[in-house]
Structure 1
Amino acid sequence: MNKIHFLFSVLGLSLLTLPSAFAQLDNNQSQFDEFMDRSGNVYRSASGKPGPEYFQNEADYTIKAELNPETHIIRGQITMTYTNNSPEDLDYIWMYLEQNRFTEDSRGTLTTPIGGNRYDGDPLEGVKISNLKAEVRRSTSSKHLISDTRMQVFFDKPLKADGGEAEVSMNFEFEVPVNGMDRMGRLSTKNGEIYAIAQWFPQVAVFDDIEGWNVEPYLGAGEFYYDYGEFDVEITVPHNYLVVASGELQNPKDVLSSEVYDRYKKALESEETVTLISSEEIGDPAMFDKQSGTQTWHYKIENSRDFAFATSKAFIWDAAQFVLPSGKTGLAHSAYPIESNGQNAWSRSTEYSKASIEYYSKKWYEYPYPAAVNVAADIGGMEYPGLNFCSWKSTGAGLWGVTDHEFGHNWFPMIVGSNERRYAWMDEGFNTFINYYSTKAFNEGEYPTRLNQPRTLTGWFLSEEREGIDTYPDVANLRNLGMIAYYKPALGLVTLREYILGEERFDYAFKSYIETWAFKHPQPKDFFNHIENAAGENLSWFFEAWFYGTGNIDLAIDSLRKREGAYYLTVSNRGDIPMPVHMQITFEDGTTEMKSLPVEIWQRGDTWTHKFEAKKDIKSIEIDPEKILLDVNFSNDSWPVNIYKD
């Protein structure tokens, strides 16, 4: 999830100039020891791959729902087929009822500060469940227990291990909030209400080899962790409402007028944006198949961990074809109100969407879904498989940034299915990292990217209020969340790619990680182990310190002496995190040369003297001339003309 102006406001608070503070290393060897258990087992190997007995359960959903705009109530019926691939029988399953987060006595409500925060929500009654049936091997149970945002569903007979199937069905009903914690809700526009619908149906929790049932309550900052499956969803709305959703529209000919259907087919084959419903045609019943009553929109998506949709009679709708490296194509489309129209605004949304999907597909892993839709709503930025909600007020660089970020989430965590509720950095940070390169590539750098100036963030890295990346999002100070979930982990990956490993080694390892864990559930140690093995480098000295601590980098040049035709360069590590020392030497004649010292020099102490010969006189030396590292004291990174001779 992302909310661009939220992050910038956080960073604005954190970038104040703060007093410098440096910590000397007490025990250098400890920097190179591994504190985390990174060993393998039958479920997860030490090489960072799924082990021979790795398992993952599957949940397939059939949902039929209807929205009543008069009451803002959604009523639905869900049938879930649940496959237990785990090695143990299950007496029950846990499901999430996310709409209960909006009740006055929910844990999320009661843990919201009096002054409020971005995760405020309207006080509502929550979700009503009825006619629940849990069927296993010709036995049926209706027993269930609701606790806050979770529901325990019991079986009469245990659901057998290694492929046993259960069918769980129920009816559900809830009122759509206006303010849905910046993740869903309603927006009133000139031409009607926009409904952004997410976390809207009962959904099974993950049962894995790490925690068993993952049942952390839905509080706010922590997001989602779900299994994969197929979603077959029918949504009934008034006849002149457009519905866009995760996946592919199955019945366009049944819901669109012949004219709009022809435009739709044209867009499927056009790399230029095609208008499907124009600003002059908003709300016109002639755009749809039916002229009265209701109609049902049918969507499907496979190998997905969630499903979301939006509906309104106020949408402009446009689309274009995206083209994948394999030659497959799909539909990039956008839905937005007339208030968001314009070439500096949402009229470029489909262009941005197409560029984002195509870039990540070529660079990292091919996009797996047949469509990708960007929806303008009263939401700063929120992602679901194949669907974004982005602020209807966004324009220019802001709209590109939030669109690209939310579509990037299709790779993390939609394809690589990490646990967002615990490890926000494994989706937000990794996504912010890939956004850095996509933004540099879009229209040859049309829009700026913040990560190319890491040292502007030094103030936060010296703040006494900073927290570690590993802090759970629901526990973290919200003023730190932008850094520990987004920027610091992203900067860590940039450091790995551009300073420690180099692009070729890193890209191979990172792509291998994505391919290996696509549609699976990696843990932090799986990522660390995989990168180390694929890149061929023990990186514990970096992973431990950067992702599990609050220490900083501070490399320094202490002296340069010339004696008997040789130079003696002394460098020191004045920070908490060892680093290789990459330096640019500038000679008196203006020529330059790069010289590097490996990270292992710091195993022998805080300082290191290197002897080397040079045929030309040295004018200056500078550590990290490209300013990749977030070195908290860059005043000591260079050495001027002062060359001492003994």
Structure 2
Amino acid sequence: MRLSRFGALMALVFSMPFFALAQENYNNSKFKQLDEKLPTPNEYRTGAGAPGHAYWQQRADYVIKAEVDETLRRLSGSETITYYNNSPDELTYLWVQLDQNVRAKDSDSHKINQTKMREKMSVNAFKKLEGFPDYDGGHKILSVNDAKGKKLPYTISKTMMRIDLPYALKSGKRVSFSIDWYYNINDRKLMDGRGGYEHFPEDGNDLYTITQWFPRMAVYDDVNGWQHKQFLGSGEFALTFGNYNVSITVPSDHIVASTGELQNPSAVLTPTQLKRFQKAKTAKRPVMIVTKEEAEENEKEKAQGTKTWVYKATNVRDFAFGSSRKYIWDAMGVKNMGKTVMAMSYYPKEAYALYSKYSTEVIAHTLNTYSKYTIPYPYPVAISVEADNGMEYPMICFNYGRTEKDGTYSERTKVGMISVIVHEVGHNYFPMIINSDERQWTWMDEGLNSFMEDVTLKEWEEGFPSYTSMYKPWLISYMKGENGRTMPIMTNSESIPQFGMNAYVKPAMALTVLRETVMGRELFDYAFKEYATRWAFKHPKPADFFRTMEDASGVDLDWFWRGWFYTTDYVDISIENVKMVEVDTKNPEKELAKKKEKRDAIPNITDMNNKKSGLVTRVKKRPYLEDFYNTYDELDVTADAKASYESYKKGLGKDEKEILYSKKYFYEVSFKNVGGLVMPLIIQFNYEDGSSEVRRIPAEIWKMGDEVVTKVFSTTKAVAEFSLDPYLETADADTENNVFPRKEQKSKFEVFKENKMGRGQSGGGNPMQKAKKKESK
């Protein structure tokens, strides 16, 4: 094709460096498909990320009788498990989890725990070094029998127990067996842990959170066979769905909060409490079932005897309960997608001011929000228990949020309490319903749930602190590997050095970036909801999530999963250079004037100093030395130049004239991928007239070179400044190189009077407390 003179000129000015690019290696691993990393689709799990036509999973039903001995601080239990083999395989043995064995004297969790001696150590800190030798922890198995009472052989392997069956359990068949056991309940405040007892020396009472408390079936599935990785304390639980019938015997003045629905309310509640509970079902605001005054009366004198609370739960993967005479209890029926769910909170007086105001309302908000973005909440109750910690189970979770003794609290405590309730109630979805393998992949429950927590908190209150705001500086530091302990998200749960950053914050940020920046809300929300719908009450794996998000959205995200989940790359994209490119108009009045302005912009330093000193040149002194060239300027506009320009214009076509007279500005911008993680380019153009606009370039721009890319932009106004990622939506680790021209970095120093406050002291109480004191004066 023949080019006109103007076309040839434009080709020269705007030509991309094709020859340079052709020399690059296009085997770009950042955009390779994930095929070699994901399992091959089959009849159980499809390439679309959905359960296959032959998908199966096991089931385990439990009938349990348990008793809390408050004097011995011991939990005893007798259970019957009915195990359904829905797999196509014959099973000759079963694996049962004994999670309490993580606290046994010979536990590996203590052996592998790194410890250090310090110059000053408390008695409790010293006991931790030795693994609490005075505490006899772990499950004590008294018997394992078949349905006829005959002993079954078993072998305990640390936190796992293998039960050998007398005959192979064939596909489609079931087997029942019973286990009798007990264990000594640990001091949770002293020894840490998800469950245990907490003692309140002020009133002499205990608060029990009973978790991981009964021998539970391990998961047998199509991917791993038996999931019997040892429980070392970090990686949580892989569990099988089933039905539970649980009888819990406790001191008669205790209130029990539990997974499931209470079956015998008239036997354990007073007539007044029953009446209040019925009222709560239709109340607009939480109703007190047990008041603060009643709980305080219970604390004063321990009643004699016991009561047995009976709970049933259908299609749950676990069971937990809390028990104490200290509990205050409120409840409210929540309308949620055509169903009423009882949102209930249990808490000691130490948390009254916060929990009575917020806890049940936060539960209701969490159920409504999660249901909107996943599936309608399927269970009849949702419970928040204040236990000064954070842990989740079906229908019940344990949280924190205690006030000062005068009932005041800091904003940080309030924000933390609301956040942890949303997070732990949200775990009903991930992993209690969308039942991922926590022992292997913590991010599949913690990461997805932390993302949904963020969404929920933003819908609770505008500007509420969340993962994508509060933790971004920590995340950036982690992703950059500043302490050398960064691991890919796709790391086994027990092998993660920085658990919170890797399993919670980084995947939550990744999904936020995916929703807000890469996919957009419409596509993301549809695909995320599809994943929840497909895998509700099933056992999804990472590939099922990755594939469903792509399948339901029509967006190729392999580059995103690879970068964020399989590598330790981080986001740091720099605007390396900006070159303004102008069209040569050939108009001598414009083009020569520009050249003259550029030439004269920087005067000669010698000429400047000569003029400053008053020096008069010889030619100035002797005008007869001047000739033609003293007045000639090669950049002056001549009649010949004007005539040549007019002739040039006549030879231009319509399209060429349109470009020539468009009055557009052209900018060639180069971007460098410093951190290695490819992301979309979000560029803000700040114009000289004070206006601005944002343009978005998909991440695929990096396909033809993942280190440096160049893009030409045309504008109708002159640009004063280019800014990358102006809304800080990609977790870019270095924002200083996001601006061009570079801005001067400013820092401040502070002059202060030395204060005599001791290390670690705060300067007084919380703002609420100070305000109350001021009002009382």
After TM superposition, the score normalised by the length of structure 2 is 0.74
The aligned counterpart of 2:701 is 601
2:691 corresponds in structure 1 to 591
Partner of 1:20: none
Residue 569 of structure 1 and its aligned partner are, at CA, apart by 2.6
- Residues 283 and 332 in structure 2, CA contact (< 8 A), matched pair in contact too: yes
Distance in 2 (alpha carbons) for counterparts of 1:225 and 1:110:
23
**Alignment match, 1:99:** 100
2:207 corresponds to 1:194: yes
5 Å-filtered alignment, 1:246-285, equals 246-282=259-295
* Alignment-mate amino acid for residue 352 of structure 2: N
> 2: distance between equivalents of 1:118 and 1:333?
39
Equivalent pair of 1:239/1:285 in contact (CA under 8 Å): no
SS in 2 for 1:534: helix
Query: How far does residue 120 in structure 1 lie from its aligned partner after superposition?
Result: 7.1
What does residue range 96-495 of structure 1 map to in structure 2 within 5 Å?
A: 96-115=97-116, 123-135=135-147, 142-161=152-171, 163-179=172-188, 181-189=192-200, 190-191=202-203, 192-282=205-295, 293-325=305-337, 327-342=338-353, 344-345=354-355, 347-378=357-388, 380-391=389-400, 393=402, 395-445=413-463, 447-452=464-469, 455-457=472-474, 458-462=476-480, 463=482, 464-477=484-497, 480-495=498-513
1:11 corresponds to which residue?
A: none
State how far apart, in whole Å, the 1-side matches of 2:443 and 2:375 are: 20
Instruction: Return closer, same or farther for 1:349/1:397 CA change in 2, 3 Å cut-off.
Output: same
- CA gap of 1:125–1:397, structure 2 versus 1, over 3 A, is closer
**Do the aligned partners of 1:584 and 1:621 also contact (CA within 8 Å) in 2?**
yes
Q: Distance in 2 between matches of 1:516 and 1:570?
A: 43
Structure 1 position 131, deviation (Å): 3.5
Matched with 2:581 is 562
SS in 2 for 1:177: coil
- Report how far residue 560 of structure 1 moved: 3.6
The 1:272/1:318 distance shift into structure 2, 3 A limit, reads same
Select the residue among 571, 582, 589 that pairs with 2:671: 571
Q: CA deviation at 1:262?
A: 0.3
Q: Matched residue of 1:341: which SS? A: helix
Which amino acid in the other structure matches residue 415 of structure 2?
A
How far is the alpha carbon of 1:213 from its aligned partner? Answer: 0.5
* Mean Cα deviation higher: 418-427 or 36-45: 36-45
8 Å contact from structure 1 (residues 119, 181) kept in 2: no
Kept in 1: contact 2:296–2:349 (CA 8 A): no
Task: Tell me the SS of whatever aligns to 1:410.
Answer: coil
CA contact (8 A) 2:518 2:698 kept: no
In the aligned structure 2, how far is the partner of 1:391 from the partner of 1:630?
Answer: 29
What displacement does 1:434 show? 0.8
Q: Which residue of 2 aligns with 1:21?
A: none
Do residues 508 (structure 1) and 510 (structure 2) align? no
* 1:284-342 Cα distance to aligned partner (Å, 9 max, x none): 579xxx985222111111111100001111111111122212x2112111111112221
Q: Is the 8 A contact 1:581 1:624 kept in 2?
A: yes
Give CA-to-partner distance per residue, 1:367-418, whole Å, 9 cap, x none: 121111111224x211111111123537411111111111111111111111
Give CA deviations for 1:542-598 in whole Å, capped at 9, x if unaligned. Answer: 111211111112222221423214332332323312122122223333333332223
Amino acid at match of 2:694: M
Q: 3-state DSSP class of the match of 1:76?
A: strand
SS at match of 1:412: coil
Larger RCO (CA within 8 A; separation ≥ 6):
1
Q: CA deviation at 1:601?
A: 2.1
1:624 aligned residue: 725
User: For residue 395 of structure 2, what is the amino acid of its counterpart?
Assistant: G
Instruction: Tell me how far 1:66 sits from its aligned partner.
Output: 1.3
User: Distance in 2 between the 1:641 and 1:188 partners?
Assistant: 58
- Tell whether the 8 Å contact from 1:91 to 1:159 is kept in structure 2 after alignment: yes
Whether contact under 8 Å (1:560, 1:567) holds in the other structure is: yes
- Structure 2 vs 1, CA of residues 114 and 555 (structure 1 numbering), >3 Å: closer, same or farther? closer
1:450–1:143 distance in 2 versus 1, CA, 3 Å:
closer
Do 2:373 and 2:525's aligned partners in 1 also have CA atoms closer than 8 Å? no
SS in 2 for 1:610: strand
Q: Determine if contact 1:216/1:421 at 8 Å carries over to the other structure.
A: yes
Greater strand content: 1
**2:76–2:182 Cα contact (<8 Å) kept:** yes
**Residues 281 and 484 (structure 1), Cα distance of their counterparts in 2 relative to 1, 3 Å cut:** same
Q: Deviations over 1:343-382 (max 9, x none)?
A: x45542222222222221223221121111111224x211
After superposition, the C-alpha distances for 1:517-543 in whole angstroms (9 at most, x for unaligned) are: 111111111111111111212211111
Quick one: structure 1 residues 414 and 579, their matched pair in 2 at CA, closer, same or farther if it must change by over 3 Å?
same
Letter in 1 for 2:478: W
CA separation of 1:450 and 1:144: change in aligned 2, threshold 3 A: closer
CA distance in 2, matches of 1:57, 1:224: 16
Distance 2:131 2:417 in 1: 24
Q: Deviations over 1:203-231 (max 9, x none)?
A: 00000111110001111111101011111
**1:17 alignment partner in structure 2:** none
Q: Output the aligned Cα RMSD.
A: 2.5
1:514 aligned counterpart, secondary structure:
helix
CA contact (8 A) 2:467 2:508 kept: no
- Contact 1:455 / 1:632 at 8 angstroms: preserved in 2? no
Question: What is aligned with 2:550?
Answer: 532
Tell me if the contact between 1:230 and 1:303 (Cα under 8 Å) persists in the aligned partners: yes
Q: Is the 8 A contact 2:679 2:730 kept in 1?
A: no
SS of 1:529's equivalent in the other structure is helix
- How far, CA to CA, are the matches of 2:742 and 2:232 in structure 1? 57
Rounded to whole Å, the distance in 1 between the matches of 2:78 and 2:568 is 48
TM normalised by structure 1 equals 0.89
Q: Aligned residues: percent identity?
A: 37
How many angstroms apart in 2 are the aligned matches of 1:175 and 1:530? 44
Instruction: Tell me: CA distance 1:27–1:575, structure 2 relative to 1, closer, same or farther (3 Å).
Output: farther
Unaligned ranges ≥5, structure 2: 1-23, 117-124, 404-412, 584-663, 744-777
Range with greater deviation from structure 2 (401-410 or 112-121): 112-121
Report if aligned partners of 1:141, 1:156 keep a CA contact under 8 Å in 2: no
More helix by share: 2
Letter of the 1:175 counterpart: N
Aligned pair count? 607
Q: Per the alignment, do residues 398 and 285 of structure 1 end up closer, same or farther by CA in structure 2, a change over 3 Å counting?
A: closer
Residues 1:603 and 1:348: Cα distance change in structure 2 (over 3 Å): closer
d(CA) in 1 for partners of 2:347 and 2:549?
A: 41
Q: 1:38 to 1:102 in 2, by over 3 A?
A: closer
Q: Which residue does 1:74 correspond to in 2?
A: 75
Q: Compared with structure 1, are the counterparts of its residues 140 and 86 closer, same or farther at alpha carbon in structure 2 (3 Å cutoff)? A: farther
